[in-house]
């Protein structure tokens, strides 16, 4: 890996980390497409897998007081329950069709909330099992466990601090499991580890900057920005399904 490529990688990871630190998600959404311009997917995927749990840990150290433990635990347990079903669907359902449907739901939901913010709300924790289960199915089958959990957080109407912290409480164990699985599969290559270690200082700075920036964003603008990110995620999923 030449120095020029490494600089671009570190810059991309730093920017992705800033987005995640500010809004609670979006690092893979930002990082994967940009990294793919400079390195193979077999390098970009495990690199972002290292970045995810690192960010979750650093963010929880700063915002653990806002973590809704019960919500995170319910989502994690339901995700684990959904994984076997996801593996079943992996062999029987067309990935493009699933991604297209999921993309349509995300796009419509994001557009609706941008036009009519706050009308759709979940008042209790009971539905967390359904969203977590969907995350397990989609995560095991198509590596897209994030959207259902993000949808759940938005529908619960959590304040920005609670939204970010609880998402990290969910993403830390699930992201760590994915990272370990990729290590067992032999994806922890020397270029991946080198890029991760060089990115660490900028990741720490991004967490400090992102959490400070998030405190200055009004909750209504924070919610609007989350919906814009969801809209972008839905668009990427839709393009992926069409291609």
DSSP 113-146: HHHSTT-S---SSTTHHHHHHHHHHHHHHHS--H
- Binned at pLDDT 50, 70 and 90, residue 169 comes out as very high
Contact 28/146 with Cβ under 8 angstroms?
yes
What value, to the nearest 5°, has the Cα angle with vertex 213 and ends 207 and 218?
140
**Which residues, in sequence order, are CB contacts of 187 under 8 Å at separation 6+?**
42, 45, 46, 49
86 pLDDT higher than 90: no
Look-up of token digits 């993000």: 150
The confidence band for 105, taking pLDDT boundaries of 50, 70 and 90, is confident
Judged by average pLDDT, the poorest of 29-33, 34-38, 138-142, 190-194 is 138-142
**142 pLDDT exceeds 80?**
no
Neighbours of 195 (CB within 10 A): 26
Among 7-21, 98-112, 181-195, which range has the highest average pLDDT?
7-21
pLDDT at position 85: 83
Q: DSSP assignment of 62-111, as one string?
A: HHGGG--HHHHHHHHHHHHHHHHHHHHHHTTS-HHHHHHHHHHHHHHHHH
Long-range contacts from 223-227, C-beta under 8 angstroms, 24+ separation: 223/113, 223/117, 223/118, 223/154, 224/114, 224/117, 225/23, 226/23, 226/24, 226/150, 226/154, 226/163, 227/110, 227/113, 227/114, 227/117, 227/154
CA distance 152 to 154: 5
Q: State residue 133's pLDDT score.
A: 93
Does position 121 have pLDDT exceeding 80, yes or no? no
Residue 177 burial class via C-beta count within 10 angstroms: exposed 0-12, middle 13-18, buried 19 and up: middle
For residue 10, what are its two tokens? 């570190």
Domain range list for the chain = 3-242
The pLDDT of residue 9 is: 95
pTM, two decimals, is 0.85
CB 60 within 8 A of CB 105: no
Nearest to 47 by CA among 204, 236, 143, 191: 191
Q: What is the mean pLDDT of the chain?
A: 87
pLDDT tens by residue, 18-62? 999 999 888 888 888 888 888 888 888 889 989 999 999 999 998
Residue 166 has pLDDT above 80, yes or no: yes
Q: What is the pLDDT of residue 90?
A: 65
pLDDT band at 217 (very low <50, low <70, confident <90, very high): confident
Q: What is the pLDDT of residue 119?
A: 63
């Amino acid at each position: 890996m030449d120095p020029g490529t490494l600089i671009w990688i570190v810059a991309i990871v730093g920017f992705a980390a800033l987005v995640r630190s500010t809004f609670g998600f979006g690092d893979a959404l930002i990082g994967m497409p940009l990294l793919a311009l400079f390195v193979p997917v077999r390098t970009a995927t495990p690199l972002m897998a290292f970045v995810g749990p690192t960010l979750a840990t650093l963010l929880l150290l700063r915002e653990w007081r806002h973590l809704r433990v019960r919500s995170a635990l319910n989502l994690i347990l339901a995700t684990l329950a959904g994984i076997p079903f996801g593996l079943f669907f992996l062999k029987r359902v067309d990935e493009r069709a699933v991604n297209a449907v999921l993309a349509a739901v995300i796009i419509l939901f994001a557009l609706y909330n941008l036009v009519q913010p706050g009308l759709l709300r979940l008042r209790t924790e009971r539905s967390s099992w359904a969203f977590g289960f969907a995350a397990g199915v989609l995560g095991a089958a198509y590596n897209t466990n994030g959207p259902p959990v993000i949808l759940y957080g938005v529908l619960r109407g959590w304040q920005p601090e609670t939204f970010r912290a609880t998402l990290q409480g969910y993403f830390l164990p699930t992201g760590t499991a994915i990272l370990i699985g990729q290590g067992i599969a032999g994806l922890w290559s020397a270029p991946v580890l080198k890029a991760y270690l060089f990115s660490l200082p900028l990741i720490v700075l991004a967490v400090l900057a992102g959490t400070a920036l998030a405190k200055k964003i009004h909750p209504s603008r924070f919610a609007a920005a989350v919906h814009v990110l969801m809209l972008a995620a839905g668009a990427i999923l839709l393009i992926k399904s069409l291609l």
